[in-house]
Amino acid sequence: MSLSELYQEVILDHGKNPRNLREMPDATHVAEGYNPLCGDQIKVFLRVAGDVVEDASFLGRGCAISQASASMMTQAIKGQTLAKAEELFENFRDAVTTQADGGCDHSSEPTFEDAFQDESLGVLSCLTGVRNYPNRIKCAVLAWHAMHSALHEGSKVTTE
Ligand code: ZN
């Protein structure tokens, strides 16, 4: 299986069977994101207790990449500390938006292992393949930006 096929498989799976696709009545942090370029809409719900993201969910509609990314984002940050969620946000955004990624050899077809080489991102690395499709990058980062603004504009966030 080529890397692009692997990307597609994971993204299609999350797109068809989104995880954590539900409203969260007891959310402590909520934010909405909209990507006018594609028409994607994502509403992110977070329940934060102390400095841990106890639960994460979303509602949304839009293209498969935006919905798959939201699904993967909620899975990635659930149970993480706020600091870790922030780190994932920054790593993901950088990986998706940075064309020149350090250390990655583009002279040969990447292997399956390469996809999971970046341990800080794990399966999220699958979505970094969208950096080859600039018009889809906003689709992929939408849910992450919504999560980020939910945490930073929420009433219970501290900067400590
Ligand atoms: Zn989209």
How far does residue 65's CA lie from ligand 1's centre (Å)?
A: 6
How far does residue 120's CA lie from ligand 1's centre (Å)?
A: 25
Give the pLDDT of residue 57. Answer: 98
How far does residue 83's CA lie from ligand 1's centre (Å)?
A: 28
Give the mean pLDDT of the chain.
Answer: 80
How far does residue 157's CA lie from ligand 1's centre (Å)?
A: 29
Q: Answer whether residue 110 shows pLDDT above 50.
A: no
How far does residue 5's CA lie from ligand 1's centre (Å)?
A: 19
Kindly report, residue by residue over 41-78, the tens digit of the pLDDT.
Answer: 999 999 999 999 999 999 999 988 899 999 999 999 99
Give the pLDDT of residue 116. Answer: 38
**148-152 contact pairs (CB < 8 A, 24+):** 148/86, 148/89, 149/31, 149/33, 150/29, 150/30, 150/31, 150/44, 150/45, 150/46, 151/29, 151/46, 151/48, 151/82, 151/85, 151/86
Q: Could you give the domains of the chain?
A: 3-158 (3.90.1010.10)
